Amino acid sequence: MFFKPKSNHYIKAWFFCLILAVIVFPFSWLASLLIMLVSTVLVLFFKSIHELELKKSIETSQLTKFQHDQRLNLLQEQLDILMTYYPHPMVLFNQRGQQVLSNASFYELIHLQDRELMYDDKRLPRAILKIFKQAYYQETPMIQDISLNNQFYSAHCLPIYVQGRYQGFLCVLQDVTRLVQQDKLQKRFVADASHELKTPITAIKGISELLLRTPHMNAEDRLDFTQQVYDQSHRLEQIVKDMLTLSKLSEDKMMIVKQPNNAKALIEEILNTFSVAFTQHHLNVSLNVNEKTVLYVDKKAFESIMSNLISNVMIHANASELHINVLETLEFVKITVIDNGKGIEAEHLPHIFERFYRASSSRQRSSGGSGLGLNISRSFVLAHQGTLEVESEPHQGCKFTLSFPKLTLS
DSSP conformation letters of 285-299: EEEE--TT-EEEE-H
pLDDT at res. 325: 95
User: Which residues in the chain land under pLDDT 70?
Assistant: 1-14, 21, 24-25, 28-29, 35-36, 72, 75-76, 78-80, 82-83, 250-254, 357-371, 408-410
Sign of the Cα torsion 381, 372, 237, 243 reads positive
pLDDT at res. 264: 92
Q: In angstroms, rounded to a whole number, what is the distance separating the alpha carbons of residues 260 and 313?
A: 27
Contacts of 124 (CB under 8 A, 6+ apart): 110, 112, 117, 132
Q: In angstroms, rounded to a whole number, what is the distance separating the alpha carbons of residues 86 and 75?
A: 16
Residue type, 384: H
Could you tell me if residue 385 is left (phi over 0), alpha (psi between -120 and 50 degrees) or otherwise beta?
left
- Pick the closest to residue 404 from 337, 356, 335 (CA basis): 335
Other C-beta atoms closer than 10 Å to the C-beta of 254 total 17
pTM above 0.85, yes or no: no
Q: In angstroms, rounded to a whole number, what is the distance separating the alpha carbons of residues 285 and 99?
A: 70
pLDDT at res. 267: 93
pLDDT in tens, 359-376: 554 444 445 556 678 888
Helix axes 219-250, 373-383, angle to 10 degrees: 30
Q: In angstroms, rounded to a whole number, what is the distance separating the alpha carbons of residues 353 and 373?
A: 8
Q: In angstroms, rounded to a whole number, what is the distance separating the alpha carbons of residues 278 and 1?
A: 121
Q: In angstroms, rounded to a whole number, what is the distance separating the alpha carbons of residues 251 and 229?
A: 33
Q: What DSSP state is assigned to residue 98? A: B
Sign of the Cα torsion 137, 143, 147, 150 reads positive
